[in-house]
């Protein structure tokens, strides 16, 4: 496949969604700056406009709270029909930066990894020096203000923090939550995208109910750890954090900064991650419900994220791949299903082909999985997924997600991270060796 036209189109999607200082994840559905979207967008931009990539990262960090949290969305001043509106979050009495409208929750911390990738490729020591303190403060906040049990594993308090909003792994936690008085609200997400491709009403009400609880407590982290009815240790979030800690450590080294604090987090998470999440009987990583003190026995593609982080042993990696990724009943492509990689195992009862994180293929998940496979030396399988992903984009455009049965597009059109990762997959994918030892 010639990738040149795809590269040109990817660049034009990123240019089209560019507001000057930040890039919208999608032109209509997502008109503000999202945290992990922005990290990937910066990675994409770095292929053709390095200064603009740096602006993207600065704009995201401008929303950092005084306690260190980097919020899931920085609204900037872009007017929009997006809900929740900036006013809905009521962050005035929190530790939010003055006069910068943001949400009151965070998202998976991918940024340090992206900064390291950009620095490795383009050598930007001054930029690293500029952003390093903010990254360190964010990671410190995650390992302390979000540590519920001294494990250094970070908790999430809202499904939106997982980046995989209506993943079926949150359903059981939601069953225990009964929204009493809901604030008045009007969903905006089904204005531009079919309701059948978006979260169900029951989940959406719980999303809003949780925000209402948090704003009543002014987003005080210790209060939220104590009182949020939703409290989970998420495999995906913690795998991304561990990888980002390693990358933060490399940045610290390059600057001659001390690494003891980061080493402490890495040591504790290295020990606690597998004890907490790995299920030896089935060979899967399961998320953990901190309130109920039990594993969440739902098989989703986030089980492969420890490969991205280098947290799985060789044996664990082999089991994840042989028993699950290559299992036609779960993830493997075959029979009626034609595209890598469904976000939820096909044999989960909650699997749905077109609904958001219930089953569709997402380019970001494919990228994590490919990076993980390469890290462990499964280059051939990574290459098959890469070809398939580029084929999906070529066939249906830069969509937010894709129906795994036939590759048709779902959700937002002209989706920025699908474009940014196209640049990664087409231009940068094969310049490294396996790095897991
Ligand atoms: C959705 C996704 C989230 C993403 C956001 C903007 O909320 O679940 O991961 O960051 O859209 O693209």
Q: Write out pLDDT tens, residues 134-171.
A: 999 999 999 999 999 999 999 999 999 999 999 999 99
Q: Is 278 in the pocket of ligand 1 (CB under 6 A)?
A: no
Task: Extract the tokens encoding 230.
Answer: 């939703």
Four-residue CA torsion sign, 24, 29, 35, 40: negative
Kindly report the pTM of this predicted structure.
0.97
Nearest atom in ligand 1 to 35's CA: 10
Distance 258 CA to ligand 1 centre (A): 34
Backbone φ and ψ for 409, nearest 5 degrees, come out as -85, 150
Please report the pLDDT score of residue 251 as a whole number. 98
pLDDT at residue 337, rounded to an integer: 64
Q: Which residues contact 393 (CB under 8 A, 6 or more apart)?
A: 6, 363, 399, 418, 422
pLDDT at 334: 79
How many Å lie between the centroid of ligand 1 and the Cα of residue 14? 16
> Looking at the predicted structure, is the pLDDT value of residue 375 above 60?
yes
Between strands 287-289 and 232-233, the pairing is antiparallel
For residues 294-313, average pLDDT: 98
Confidence of residue 432 (pLDDT cuts 50, 70, 90): very low
For this structure, is 380 an active site residue? no
195 pLDDT above the threshold of 70: yes
* Backbone φ, ψ for residue 205 (5° rounding): -60, -35
Q: For the chain, what is the mean pLDDT?
A: 95
Percent with pLDDT over 90 in the chain: 93
Residue 25 Cβ inside 6 Å of ligand 1? The answer reads yes
Q: How far apart are the first and last CA of the chain?
A: 33
pLDDT at 25 over 60: yes
Whether the pLDDT of residue 435 is over 70: the answer is: no
Banded pLDDT at 437 (limits 50, 70, 90): very low
**Predicted local distance difference test score (pLDDT) of residue 436:** 52
The pLDDT of residue 77: 81
352 carries an active-site annotation = no
Q: Judge if the beta carbon of residue 71 lies within 6 A of ligand 1.
A: no
pLDDT tens sequence across 110-120: 999 999 999 99
The predicted model gives 221-240 an average pLDDT of 98
Structure confidence at residue 45 (pLDDT):
98
């Amino acid at each position: 496949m010639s990738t040149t036209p795809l590269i040109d189109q990817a660049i034009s999607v990123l240019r089209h969604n560019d507001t000057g200082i930040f890039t919208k994840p999608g032109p209509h559905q997502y008109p503000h700056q999202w945290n992990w979207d922005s990290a990937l967008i910066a990675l994409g931009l770095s292929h053709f406009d390095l200064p603009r990539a740096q602006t993207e990262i600065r704009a995201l960090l401008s929303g950092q709270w005084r306690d260190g949290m980097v919020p899931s969305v920085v609204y900037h001043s872009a007017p929009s029909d997006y809900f929740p509106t900036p006013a809905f979050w009521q962050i005035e009495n929190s530790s939010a930066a003055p006069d910068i409208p943001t949400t009151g929750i965070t998202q998976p911390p991918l940024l340090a990894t992206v900064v390291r990738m950009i620095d490795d490729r383009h050598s930007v020591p001054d930029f690293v020096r500029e952003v390093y303190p903010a990254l360190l403060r964010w990671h410190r906040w995650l390992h302390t203000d979000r540590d519920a049990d001294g494990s250094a594993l970070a908790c999430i308090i809202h499904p939106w923090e997982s980046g995989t909003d209506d993943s079926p792994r949150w359903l059981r936690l939601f069953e225990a939550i009964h929204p009493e008085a809901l604030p008045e609200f009007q969903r905006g997400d089904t204005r531009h995208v079919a309701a059948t491709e978006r979260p169900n009403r029951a989940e959406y009400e719980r999303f809003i109910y949780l925000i209402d609880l948090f704003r009543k407590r002014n987003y005080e982290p210790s209060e939220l750890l104590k009182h949020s009815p939703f409290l989970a240790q998420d495999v995906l979030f913690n795998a991304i954090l561990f990888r980002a800690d390693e990358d933060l450590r490399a940045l610290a080294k390059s600057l001659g900064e001390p690494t003891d604090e980061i080493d402490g987090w890495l040591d504790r998470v290295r020990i606690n991650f597998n004890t907490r999440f790995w299920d030896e009987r089935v060979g899967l990583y399961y998320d953990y419900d901190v309130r109920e003190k039990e594993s969440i026995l739902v098989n989703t593609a986030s089980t492969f994220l420890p490969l991205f982080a280098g947290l799985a042993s060789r044996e664990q990696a082999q089991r994840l791949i042989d028993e699950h990724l290559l299992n036609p009943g779960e993830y493997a492509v075959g029979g009626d299903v034609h595209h890598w990689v469904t976000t939820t195992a096909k044999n989960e009862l909650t699997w749905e082909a077109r609904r958001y994180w219930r089953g569709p293929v997402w380019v970001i998940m494919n990228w994590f999985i490919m990076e993980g496979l390469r890290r462990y030396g499964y280059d051939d399988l990574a290459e098959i997924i890469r070809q398939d992903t580029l084929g999906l984009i070529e066939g249906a455009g830069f969509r937010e997600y894709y129906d795994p049965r036939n590759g048709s597009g779902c959700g937002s059109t002209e989706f920025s991270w699908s474009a940014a990762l196209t640049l990664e997959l087409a231009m940068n994918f094969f310049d490294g060796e396996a790095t897991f030892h």
